[in-house]
């Protein structure tokens, strides 16, 4: 079984990776490590930088991710600055920005950067489309989970426990990563 070290302390992210990758033959270990989160125009750039940093420090192959919430009515804001905006405005602030706005379309973009020691990172990306709710709801997850309703669902992500919530997201990037790792050594 191939192995990947996921650099995160977020249990939900680890659970997602294990639930999706391990049945595909990729064992997921993890390590909690602070990495610089650069300010960049795309989540791909942020993930690549963090993965390269972690790989060089740990001297092994790693997986690092970054996500962004892109709200159509706000011209893609907060985008790759999601973490900062969450700290400063939070979900309530974003809901205020969208007060009386009819266009609530949004998407989450998640970029996974896989980096082998001494090499450049490779990025796999998933996009989960949905909309921003009129008000917060749910008790599971954190932050944007309480206001984001994925396409095909009628409740926010915060209404689904971890084991369900991690499978609601578009998992394309995980599957592409697994395929890449499986084919890499063949």
* 54's tokens: 């972690």
Contact 124, 173 (CB under 8 A): yes
The one catalytic residue among 29, 66, 154, 185? 66
Element holding 66 (H helix, E strand): strand 62-71
- Enumerate residues 6+ apart whose C-beta is below 8 A from 186: none
**Degrees, nearest 5: CA angle 114-123-7:** 35
| 66 included as an active-site residue | yes
Residues with active-site annotation? 66
């Amino acid at each position: 079984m191939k192995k990947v070290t996921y650099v995160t302390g977020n249990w939900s992210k680890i659970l997602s990776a294990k639930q999706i990758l391990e049945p595909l033959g990729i064992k997921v270990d993890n390590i909690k490590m602070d990495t610089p989160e650069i300010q960049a125009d795309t989540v791909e750039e942020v993930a690549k930088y963090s993965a390269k940093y972690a790989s060089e420090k740990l001297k092994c192959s790693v997986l690092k991710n970054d996500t962004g919430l892109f709200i159509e009515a706000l011209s893609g804001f907060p985008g790759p600055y999601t973490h900062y905006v969450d700290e400063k405005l939070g979900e309530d602030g974003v809901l205020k920005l969208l007060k009386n706005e009819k266009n609530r379309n949004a998407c989450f973009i998640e970029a996974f950067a896989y980096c082998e020691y001494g090499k450049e990172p490779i990025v796999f990306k998933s996009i989960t489309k949905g909309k921003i709710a009129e008000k917060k709801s749910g008790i599971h997850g954190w932050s944007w989970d309480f206001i984001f309703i994925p396409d095909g669902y009628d409740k926010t992500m915060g209404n689904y426990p971890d084991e369900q919530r991690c499978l609601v997201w578009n998992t394309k990037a995980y599957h592409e990563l697994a395929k890449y790792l499986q084919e890499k050594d063949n």
